[in-house]
Structure 1
Amino acid sequence: MSGKAILLLMMGFSMLFLVVANNFHGVSGQMTDNYVDYFNETTAYNIAVSGANLAANSVFTNPTWTDGYNQPYQNGTMNVSVTILDAFKNIRQIESVGSFNGKTSNVRVIIAPRNFASFAYYSVSEGSNIWWTDKDTVWGPFHTQDILRAYRKPTFMGSASSKLGIQHFTSAALDAPYFHKGYQNGVNVEIPLDAVTSLKAPSLAGGLYFDGNEAGKSTVYMQFENDNLLFRYNTTLPFDTLHLPTVAPNGLIFVENGTVRMKGTIRGAYSLAVSGTTSPRGSVYLDGDIVYETDPRINPASTDLLGIIAQKQVLITDAPPNYTDINIHASILVQDEGFGAENHSGRPVSGNLNLLGGIQQNIRKAVGTFNSGTGVYLSGFAKNYRYDERLGFASPPFYPGTGGFEIVSWYE
């Protein structure tokens, strides 16, 4: 090869290397720019998420907090506002904007008060002689302020917590519960002292109010027939009929200082609240099945929903209609005592207590007795509790709250 050819070849390679180097420099610069953009966007996003979390924590700590934030954060800025979307229901929106080096990111969170209907089971006091057994399955969120007492491995399908730990009947090996969604110890959730009495006011403003202080009206017999409520004050009297959507448009029925005996079929969403501190006032007796017209397990679009809220107790009546199973569709809250079976240790073996909904109570009452050696029931009911999954996002009208909030939605 001549010197001229070699020179031309070298010049060609040099030009090629220059082009490649220039392209490489361009790619490298573009990669750097992309990385810088990604870093800026990610940092702005992290600032927005941090702002939303800080604001949510502030509301959870102080339910009246609406100040928001507008301050530097991670070399950027955090701008957070809290807006009350529904003053009556206390539903709030947190809007968090994170900014960093010209990039912005938005996070929007909706929070709402958590109420007791979200619990499949809740108690303050479990009672030292009442145990969750291998025949018991709780299908939704569970909490007790007491010790969770376990015999032969009960099953908890939802999240579970207790304030005072777990006690095993014999040993952990034989009795430790099955927790399918985890267990937390040391959690504190208290029933408000005015859970029932606070409902009088809304019952007088769009609800249905009964005054148990009036002579001859301390006990109200109620039979629900779809949209209608049949009621009377004495079994010797005929029923009066009320159209519930007309007389209780806000869905609340309140009996002040009285006793309710109830059964029937519910259409629509209602809460029945009964106040009174001297038994039997403040008590609800279930004289038979109380069920939804449309079972949500068959039709998930069902809008039938019932809350039973009693100051004293809710009892399954000791009477023949309840000796062969009982079906209850409701979330039940008892402020002072609890939910149980009347004469639980003296009534006959009564089949299954089929509950769709939830139970929240101060003192756990028994629904039957069993032989601790064999597990065979001796009286009352075997528990068949099913959580109404709709209670995770909906609740009966005016159902008492826990005093805390929960996140309903999170948009980014």
Structure 2
Amino acid sequence: MKKHYKNEKGIVLPIVVIVFSIMLILGFSLMNTTDSETKINKRDEESKRALQYAEAGYNAYLWHLNDDVNFYSIEPEKLDKDTRKLVNGEAIKFKGGFYKVKVEKPSDTDRYVKITSTGWTKSNLSNKRTIVAKIRKKQFVHQVYVSENDGSNIWWTSGDECHGPYHTNGVLRVQKTPKFYDTVTYSGGIDDQVRTSNKEHVYLAGEPKKVEKLGFPKNNEDLKKWAEKDNMVFNGRTCIYLDGDNVKIRNGNSKEIKSYSISQNIKNCVIYVEGNQKNEYRNFYDKFDLNAANVFVSGTLNGKLTIAAENNIYITAIDPTIWDMPEYFTDKGIEYYGTKFNGKKDGTGTGSEEMSALDSEKNIYTRYALKKNGGDGKDMLGLVANNDVMIMHYGWFKYKNENDLDDESYQYDWVKEHYLFWYRWVKVPKKIDVAPKDIIIDSAIFAVNGGFGFEDYDIGGSKGHIVLWGNITQNKRKEVGTFNSNNGENITGYKKKYAHDPRMFYDYPPHILEPTNVGWEVIEWKEIDAHLH
């Protein structure tokens, strides 16, 4: 029987073709997948590098801010070519790509430096990444009031007003109904005797919060280096009268009053007084000691200046370069010539709104620095004492009254000591009250190892208000008056109306002291769509 076999030779070729086609398709698919993954990985890598370049732009600008906290205020023409490109927002080459930076400096109401930085690679100009950071450097002058220690029995009470951020490293003590128009922070503790029903009327920007301490420096000696550059270091008692751009100075027992132009003679904007640093005196007139590193200052400032003393600074209501007792007060303390302040940007605030006004859109209380007298609105003063900054209460350099010792400087030698003893402790000299009813102080005040207060605060009758625009930084809070604990009314001394100079969020008195734990705080960090930038 014959066996018949099917001829399968013709079927092999189609099978091979089909298998080859499948393999070819799979190969192409694999190649496409690999190519796609390569492109995706490349884009992802480029995107990561673009973000790194954006961060590099941020760090480049931050480096300049660390070198000069007011870097954003420097005119571009004064910068070198590369730095000018940075501040002008031009593209800057970096490694395998570019970055460009845009910066918005703080304002009276927006308190942070806003840095927007965009990065991209050379190989893909369209794949950009943009970051936005809001930062702020720790500064004492960002608050209207800072203290290391608030003392054991000093309170904020009815009639006191604080128009600006407040901070104490110690214990915050509040009773009755003072008004805090801005944030309140503390590091040590809080003794809050405000009734719950009154809290929203006392803490207008929210209840107090506990935060990190601000580190106090040991002294103000760094300022001396700046004063030395302009030969503006004086030894012993120094009387200073601010007369616009001119500073009148009477040093020691000199009969000569010398005049210096801030813009022409004090380029580094610092005056420093050295000498004896005795802070505790037996009598009210010992502060006039010729060898003491004390400054007496008043007047009107046109420009920027920092005055520092190794001992105390006394703010007077009379020109302290004139030692004869005047018949009337010619000044009200220290004011700016070309800068005024108001709660409203248009300067129309009245009454309580003169120092703070509610911005309903931002839901914050605002304060503004405005121009006056045709000035530029940039006047700024720093008063920095190693010990106390005091409002002067009693005494003057030279008495012309009957029964007073007629001596220009209250300087005595040992031969006169027997008479001095009788004069001081038996005869008792007359205390002439030289403190005005209300006193205006436009300044950043820094009492490094002491405090800000009113000399002999518990003697005499009640005054009016201390109206301060600027900042008070003090190691230990000192008294400015006494009050009735039942009704909060003043018995002696002053009530407080302290308002923050809003420019001090972004501009500072020359070479003002910074916290020892100074650094830039990142308030906000986020990435935004680069195409919207």
Same fold (TM over 0.5): yes
**Residue in structure 1 matching 2:161, options 128, 137, 140:** 137
C-alpha RMSD of matched pairs (Å): 3.6
Give 1:406 shift: 4.8
What do residues 93-129 of structure 1 show as CA deviations (whole Å, max 9, x unaligned)? 8756489x97321336586743322210000111111
* Aligned counterparts of 2:203 and 2:314: Cα–Cα separation in 1: 33
Alignment equivalent of 2:233, drawn from 198, 201, 209:
209
Match of 1:247 in 2: 265
Match for 1:314: what amino acid?
V
> What is the TM-score normalised by the length of structure 2?
0.56
Give the equivalent residue in structure 2 for 1:153.
Answer: 177
Residue 309 of structure 2: aligned partner: 274
Residue 237 of structure 1, CA deviation: 1.9
CA distance in 2, matches of 1:346, 1:203: 37
Q: Which residue of 1 aligns with 2:68?
A: 89
Q: Which residue type is aligned with residue 274 of structure 2?
A: E
Q: What is the Cα deviation at residue 228 of structure 1?
A: 0.9
Q: Note the C-alpha offset of 1:166.
A: 1.9
Deviation at 1:165, TM superposition (A): 2.9
Matches within 5 A, 1:147-226: 147-169=171-193, 172=196, 177-181=202-206, 183-194=208-219, 196-206=220-230, 208-210=232-234, 212=235, 218-226=236-244
CA offset digits 1:366-398 (Å, max 9, x no partner): 100000012111000011112111111111000
Question: Which residue in the other structure is 2:448 paired with?
Answer: 335
Aligned with 1:361: secondary structure?
Answer: strand
CA contact (8 A) 1:120 1:139 kept: yes
Task: Say which structure is richer in strand.
Answer: 1
In 2: Cα distance, 1:229 partner to 1:124 partner: 32
Aligned AA (2:143): F
1:1-400 map, 5 Å: 48=51, 81-83=59-61, 84-85=63-64, 88-89=67-68, 95=117, 97=119, 103-107=127-131, 113-169=137-193, 172=196, 177-181=202-206, 183-194=208-219, 196-206=220-230, 208-210=232-234, 212=235, 218-234=236-252, 237-257=255-275, 258-275=293-310, 282-288=311-317, 289-297=333-341, 299-300=370-371, 301-319=376-394, 320-400=433-513
Contact 2:382 2:444 in 1 (8 A): yes
Shift in Å, 1:144:
0.2
How far apart are the structure 2 equivalents of 1:382 and 1:104?
57
Name the CA distance, whole Å, in 1 between partners of 2:386 and 2:514. Answer: 15
Give the SS at the match of 2:339: coil
Q: Answer whether contact 2:339 2:378 (CA < 8 A) is retained.
A: no
Q: 1:306 to 1:374 in 2, by over 3 A?
A: same
Structure 1 residue 405, shift from structure 2 partner: 2.0
Change (3 A) 1:81 1:369: closer
Q: TM-score under structure 1 normalisation?
A: 0.72
Give the 3-state SS of the residue equivalent to 1:85 in structure 2: helix
For 1:51 and 1:193, the matched residues in 2 are separated by 39
Unpaired runs of at least 5, structure 1: 1-36, 53-67, 69-78, 213-217, 276-281
Query: In structure 2, how many angstroms separate the alpha carbons of the residues matched to 1:397 and 1:331?
Result: 11
Structure 2: how far apart are the matches of 1:397 and 1:291? 17
Distance 1:240 1:372, change over 3 A: same
**Counterparts of 1:311 and 1:168, CA distance in 2:** 31
Distance in 1, matches of 2:474 and 2:334, equals: 19
- Contact map agreement 2:176 2:488 (CA 8 A) in 1: no
Q: What amino acid does structure 2 have at the position aligned with 1:385?
A: Y
Q: Secondary structure at the match of 1:354?
A: strand
Distance 1:88 1:205 in 2: 20
Q: Structure 1's 153 and 376: CA in aligned 2 closer, same or farther, altered over 3 A?
A: closer
Cα distance in 1 for partners of 2:230, 2:133 equals: 31
| Total equivalences in the alignment | 335
What CA deviation, in whole Å up to 9, does each residue of 1:257-308 have, x standing for no partner?
Answer: 3110111110101111112xxxxxx100011111111233263441111011
1:21 is matched with none
SS in structure 1 at match of 2:479 = coil
Deviation at 1:86, TM superposition (A): 5.8
Shifted more, 182-191 versus 223-232: the winner is: 182-191
Give the deviation of 1:173 after TM superposition: 5.1
Give the SS at the match of 1:201.
helix
Amino acid at match of 1:263: S
Go from structure 1 to structure 2 and tell me whether the alpha carbon gap of 1:169 and 1:111 turns closer, same or farther (over 3 Å shift): closer
For residues 51 and 372 of structure 1, do their structure 2 counterparts lie closer, same or farther at Cα, with a shift above 3 Å needed?
Answer: farther
Equivalent residue letter for 2:159:
K
Offset at residue 249 of structure 1 (A): 0.9
Q: Percent identity?
A: 25
Q: Distance in 2 between matches of 1:128 and 1:50?
A: 53
